[in-house]
Amino acid sequence: MNNKNKKKILYVITKSNWGGAQKYVFDLATSLSKDQFDITVAVGGEGILKEKLEAGGVRVTKIHNLERNISIFKEFSVFLELFRLYKKEKPNIIHLNSSKIGGLGSLAGRLVGIEKIIFTVHGWAFNEKRNPLARLIIWGISWLTAILCTDLIVLSEKERKQTRHFPLVQSKKIHLIANGLKPLESLTKEKAREKLGLKKEEAYVGTISELHKNKGLDILIKTVPALSAEIVIIGSGEEETNLKNLAQKLGVSEKIHFLGTVQDAGKYLSAFDVFALTSRKEGFPYVLLEAGYAGVPIVASNIGGIPEILKDEETGLLSEPENVKDVSVKIEKLLHNKNYAERLGKNAKTYVEQNFSFEKTLKLTRQVYER
């Protein structure tokens, strides 16, 4: 197909690390037909996402001063840079990912006259624990983003309901498209533990997560004194030092393994006896789909889109958010009831395979691009 007949898509995302939003962008950008779409990804900073996209043959452009923390001067600078980028690239579609870039990117898109402006809600930021005034301001910015975009993709039914409550936002612009998973490579338990440097005979509760306050890893660490297992944390982030200090303060450092970033971490899920996700805020986490696909018994917070993946006592166990005792009791229940844990793991695998394929996600997303 002639380049002039291709739809030009510009994905924009705040950070180039590797988390759920980054995986979402990577999967879409590398899976759409190059004969039908001309794809560019704009990212803030260097990191795994940028490296993987370039290795996959996707053009990447860097946005300077784009970072998670708020700074008025930097926000204005990013806005101007996005405005210039849109004018230069002339995309048919901009697809925005992350709360911060949603507001700046949609406003710049409207001013330039982009015909289709899509924002994927990877968890509304006003659901985070903040003081009432901050939450009100963030809600207002989120509402303006929803007004400015031509289409909103939400990942869970909970977020669709929240979005429908925005004044003046038409229901027809809201599309529920859950994250979907490509088939994963999975190592045997023995091989996975060997690769991660874990003991063959020990019991392990594991998680894969960005080390950020929203992920609630401090809650998981606080369960350790009550557990008959050691903890494995795969991932990196700004909270690493604080989490290690907490482990030391509780006297449990020797029972916690901080493994940092691990390439293709999903294939090592089989190393865990239980997978735990103790987040304070979530949208629709890929890692839970991966843990389900791997057949690992799961304990996860009853928040966001998690209950749409985990059916309590059927495909996993839901825990009360930020309730250390409840988390530890449920982890222990799985550790000491092997048949029960195995049944939940098998049920989770079946449920994920039947309901959350990437092919479905890609098909529905293309429909939004083409409507």
CATH of the domain at 307: 3.40.50.2000
Write down the pLDDT at residue 76.
86
Q: In which residue are the tokens 């490509």 written?
A: 182
Same domain, 214 and 171: no
Same domain, 136 and 42: yes
Same domain, 120 and 247: no
Same domain, 143 and 263: no
Write down the pLDDT at residue 68.
54
**Of 249, 200, 196, 204, whose CA–CA distance to 228 is shortest?**
204
Query: Helix, strand, or coil here: 337?
Result: coil
Residue 78 clears pLDDT 80, i.e. is over it: yes
Residue 357 sits at φ, ψ, to 5 deg, of -90, 145
Write down the pLDDT at residue 214.
92
Same domain, 166 and 212: no
Share of the chain above pLDDT 90, in %: 84
For residue 310, the 8-state DSSP code is P
Same domain, 287 and 174: no
Write down the pLDDT at residue 17.
84
Q: How confident is the model at residue 225 (pLDDT cuts 50, 70, 90)?
A: very high
Same domain, 7 and 109: yes
Same domain, 214 and 104: no
Same domain, 195 and 270: yes
Q: How confident is the model at residue 74 (pLDDT cuts 50, 70, 90)?
A: confident
Residue 123 clears pLDDT 90, i.e. is over it: no
Exposure of 358 in the CB half-sphere (CA atoms within 13 A):
18
Same domain, 341 and 240: yes
Q: How confident is the model at residue 71 (pLDDT cuts 50, 70, 90)?
A: low
Same domain, 234 and 283: yes
Q: d(Cα 198, Cα 204) in Å, to the nearest integer?
A: 9
The pLDDT tens digits of the residues spanning 251-306 come to 999 999 999 999 899 999 999 999 999 999 998 999 999 999 999 999 999 998 99
What's the domain count of the chain? 2
Burial class (CB in 10 A: 0-12, 13-18, 19+), 341: buried
Under 8 Å between Cβ of 42 and 104: no
Average predicted confidence (pLDDT) for the chain:
93
Domain that holds residue 319: 189-355
Q: How confident is the model at residue 43 (pLDDT cuts 50, 70, 90)?
A: very high
Share of the chain above pLDDT 70, in %: 96
Under 8 Å between Cβ of 126 and 142: yes
Same domain, 299 and 331: yes
Give the H/E segment covering residue 340: helix 338-355
Two structure tokens written together for 148: 């400015």
The pLDDT tens digits of the residues spanning 125-176 come to 888 888 999 899 999 999 999 999 999 999 999 999 999 999 999 999 999 9
